[in-house]
Amino acid sequence: MQVKFKLKKNMRIEQLQAFLAVTETGNFGQAAKQCGVTQSTISRQIQSLEQDLGLPLFHRTSQVKLTLGGEKLLPRALKICQEWKKASAECAELLAGKQPELCIAAIHSVCAHYLPPVLQQFFLNYPEIQLRVTALGSDRALKVLRDGLVDVAIVMNNRFLTNSAEIVLDVLYEEQIEVLMAADHPLTNYDVIPWSELVKYPQVVFKDGYGMQRLVQEWFSRQNVELKIAMELNTLDAFRGVVRQGNTLALLPQSALIDSRHDSSLAVRAIANPEESLSMTMNNNGWHNYLTRQVVMVTTSDRLQIPPIAHFCQLVKKNTPNTGTIGSKQLVGN
């Protein structure tokens, strides 16, 4: 005889737990003590479960025994309750801060200069959690965050990739973009390089998928000037090596130029503030007349409920530089 259960949407885990308790003890009263509820509650849960299934589950004699329907339900109920117990324990451990690893994706300049003290402090506070840090371009970092492969992304802001209800975005700092060139480049004659002179030289840019390439292209395009790309690279060492060799330029943020300022074969110059009609960069409040980029920390609201992730985010906000024109603030669903 094949018994088919017609499951109802209102079936609850408590009903299955009551069913297992009665099966184990053979008595409704003992089952109630085991579950920490009254006997009437156990009886009501079993009756509701029987109504949901359309079959009696017990022979109600002096020693309660399973019916055919109860025997069919038993192995399924055991499996469901075991999985529920395991899932509950894992969620409780997560809320208690017990997790095997914390994954971060960040742009190269942040990895090189701002993250090391944060990582060291986090390790001291959570030595049992393994940190996994990957240096990625901004767009790629935001994609792996959305795919659930990392917990936190520290990137150049891209409102098109952070415009979701679950996203929590903290503005860390805003920094100016400057020009990197060889020490003997003709433009070193300028203390501040006019835009009209800057556009005459070929540029070394980040590869596609990096926010800086998009930002530089937008600046040139808004002036109707062609961006002369000589080469695409993806590491700061490569930028320094290539620029050192000739007349190419690289437009890079200040945090990416820290090492270059101490290299006698290289020179760094500021860019003259563009006129009202010239290059502009986007931030959360609209267009502004500065050659800048905005660095943000991005995670999701559910991750911020996990203590180690929330602690890491607090450490980042505490240790990142307040060098820009915008202070730290939190924007949900930006």
The per-residue pLDDT for range 197-244, each reduced to its tens digit, is 998 999 999 888 788 888 888 888 877 888 899 999 988 899 999 999
Interatomic CA distance for residues 292 and 313, integer angstroms: 23
Instruction: Please return the burial class of 74, using the count of CB atoms within 10 Å of its CB with bins 0-12, 13-18 and 19+.
Output: middle
Q: Taking 50 as the threshold, does the pLDDT of residue 280 lie above it? A: no
The per-residue pLDDT for range 164-209, each reduced to its tens digit, is 888 999 999 998 999 999 999 999 999 999 888 998 999 999 888 7
Interatomic CA distance for residues 257 and 334, integer angstroms: 29
Interatomic CA distance for residues 70 and 57, integer angstroms: 4
Q: What percent of the chain has pLDDT over 70?
A: 87
Structural domains in the chain plus CATH codes: 13-95 (1.10.10.10), 100-334 (3.40.190.290)
* pTM beyond 0.75, yes or no: no
| Confidence band of 290 (pLDDT split at 50, 70, 90) | low
Angle at CA of residue 45, ends 43 and 49, nearest 5°: 115
